[in-house]
Amino acid sequence: MAFPYLEAVVGFMILMYIFESYLDVRQHAAHKLPTLPKPLVGVISQEKFEKSRAYSLDKSYFHFIHEFVTILMDSSILYFRILPWFWQRSGEFLVYLGLNAENEIFHTLSFLAGVMVWSQITDLPFSLYSTFVIEARHGFNKQTVWLYFRDMIKGIALSIVIGPPIVAAIIVIVQKGGPYLAIYLWGFMLILSLVMMTIYPVLIAPLFNKFTPLPQGELRLKIENLASSLKFPLKKLFVVDGSTRSSHSNAYMYGFFKNKRIVLYDTLIQQCKNDEEIVAVIAHELGHWKLNHTMYSFIAVQILTFLQFGGYTLVRNSKDLFQSFGFDTQPVLIGLIIFQHTVIPLQHLVSFGLNLVSRAFEFQADAFAKKLGYAAPLRAGLVKLQEENLSAMNTDPWYSAYHYSHPPLVERLAAIDESDKKTE
Annotated binding site for Zn(2+), which residues? 284, 288, 362
The secondary structure of 65-96, three-state, reads: HHHHHHHHHHHHHHHCCHHHHHHHHHHHHHHH
**How high is the pLDDT of residue 77?**
95
Residues tagged active-site: 285, 366
pLDDT digits (tens, 9 = 90+) for 41-94: 888 889 999 999 999 999 999 999 999 999 999 999 999 999 999 999 999 999
H or E segment to which residue 1 belongs:
none
Rounded CA-CA distance 352/346 in Å is 10
The amino acid that residue 116 corresponds to is M
Annotated binding site, which residues? 284, 288, 362
Q: What's the mean pLDDT when you consider all of the chain?
A: 91
- pLDDT for residue 390 is more than 60: yes
Least confident of 100-104, 113-117, 188-192, 269-273: 269-273
Residue 261, classed as helix, strand or coil, is strand
Least confident of 39-43, 284-288, 330-334: 39-43
Residue percentage of the chain with pLDDT more than 70: 98
**How high is the pLDDT of residue 1?**
63
Rounded CA-CA distance 186/274 in Å is 45
pTM of the predicted protein model: 0.88
- pLDDT for residue 409 is more than 50: yes
- pLDDT for residue 393 is more than 70: yes
Strand runs (DSSP E) across 242-337, as ranges? 251-254, 260-265
Most confident of 128-137, 249-258, 343-352, 412-421: 128-137
- pLDDT for residue 264 is more than 80: yes
Residue percentage of the chain with pLDDT more than 90: 67
- pLDDT for residue 148 is more than 90: yes
- Maximal CA-CA distance, the chain: 73
Are 186 and 306 contacting, i.e. CB atoms less than 8 angstroms apart?
Answer: yes
**How high is the pLDDT of residue 197?**
85
**Average pLDDT for residues 130-156, to the nearest whole number?**
93
